[in-house]
Amino acid sequence: MTTALALKNIEMRYGRAGALTLSGVSLDVAPGECVGLVGESGCGKTTLARVAAGLVRPTSGEVLLGGQTLPAEPRRRSRDQRRRLQMVFQDPNGALNPAATVAGTLAEGLEVHGLARGEDMRLRIQAALEDVGLNAGFAGRRPHQLSGGQRQRVAIARALVVEPDVVILDEPTSALDLSVQAQILNLLLDLQERRGLGYLFISHDIDVVRHLCHRVCVMEAGSIVEEGDAATVLSSPTHPCTRKLVDAAPMIPGGLS
């Protein structure tokens, strides 16, 4: 079966000394699957996400979308390739233009990709807001008029309004309080089920990964050190890094719901 997203032997070196940040990392995401990428801060999770999203060029390795190798130079990715692979960032405050209305934020993607105009654009923006649990009245608001959870819903709507195949989620709930976090996670689950999306979910929160992900890859010092079915890996970890992450995770009665 063709994977939705595949990373093959990704290596990343930075600086004159060529400090190794990613060392031969490979993983794949199937359509409709959520793959968690976990590890301590500084292990390379976000760098790998940025490589996958085309925000930085790896030193070597390949990124494939739907079985097609993407250009190594991010600027050479086609408009359709960029549309099909979207990213939701950790901090919606930094990701959203403070001067733009919610409608303007969603319209930008539709305009860039030539997907809608006029009344059709208005209807698609309204539908995207409804998909993330916001009514049409939010279209005229700006980020400072929204709560943290509402801003992240807008960020998710911006990613989904262009109808991607894969969404990279980089710590999308870590800045939210626990009750709002659960709402956003359940929203992501619902959207994935309805749309058949592939998710690459980056996190350090084991309870969140256990709740959301089908498979998990554990990263340490730029390498994948353990991977497999999320329930199995997180209940019976074999690598010391995984055991450390699981042991450090807070015990939440009943988990997220």
Query: pLDDT for 229-257, tens place per residue?
Result: 999 999 999 999 999 999 988 655 455 54
Asked if the structure places residue 91 within a domain, the reply is yes
Handedness of CA 50, 54, 57, 63 (dihedral sign): positive
Q: Does a structural domain hold residue 150? A: no
- Identity of the amino acid at 97: N
The pLDDT value given to residue 5: 97
> Sign (positive/negative) of CA torsion 171, 172, 174, 179?
negative
Contact 5, 64 (CB under 8 A): yes
d(CA 139, CA 248): 41
Q: Residue 195 corresponds to which amino acid?
A: R
Query: Is residue 153 included in any domain, yes or no?
Result: no
d(CA 82, CA 105): 17
Predicted pLDDT of residue 253: 47
Q: What residues form DSSP beta bridges with 226? A: 218
Classify residue 69: in a domain, yes or no: yes
Q: What local confidence, expressed as pLDDT, does residue 74 receive?
A: 83
Radius of gyration of the chain (CA): 18
| Predicted local confidence at residue 94, as pLDDT | 84
Q: How far apart are CA 87 and CA 169, in angstroms?
A: 6
Q: Is 67 inside a domain boundary?
A: yes
Ranges assigned E (strand) in the chain: 5-14, 19-29, 34-38, 60-65, 68-69, 85-88, 166-170, 198-203, 215-220, 223-229
The whole-number pLDDT of residue 256 equals: 54
* 36 assigned to some structural domain: yes
Mind spelling out the 3-state secondary structure of 78-147? CHHHHHHEEEECCCHHHHCCCCCCHHHHHHHHHHHCCCCCHHHHHHHHHHHHHHCCCCHHHHHCCHHHCC
Sites in the chain below the pLDDT cut of 70: 1, 250-257
In which domain, by residue range, is 39 found?
5-95+165-248
Q: Does residue 105 lie within any of the structural domains?
A: no
Residue 133 counted as domain residue: no
C-alpha to C-alpha distance for 208 and 212, rounded to whole angstroms: 6
Q: Specify the number of domains making up the chain.
A: 1
pLDDT at 255: 52
Structure confidence at residue 15 (pLDDT): 76
What CATH number does residue 88 fall under? 3.40.50.300
The per-residue pLDDT for range 139-149, each reduced to its tens digit, is 999 999 999 99
* Distances from the Cα of 61 to the Cα of 27, 46, 57, 162, 244, angstroms: 12, 17, 10, 27, 29
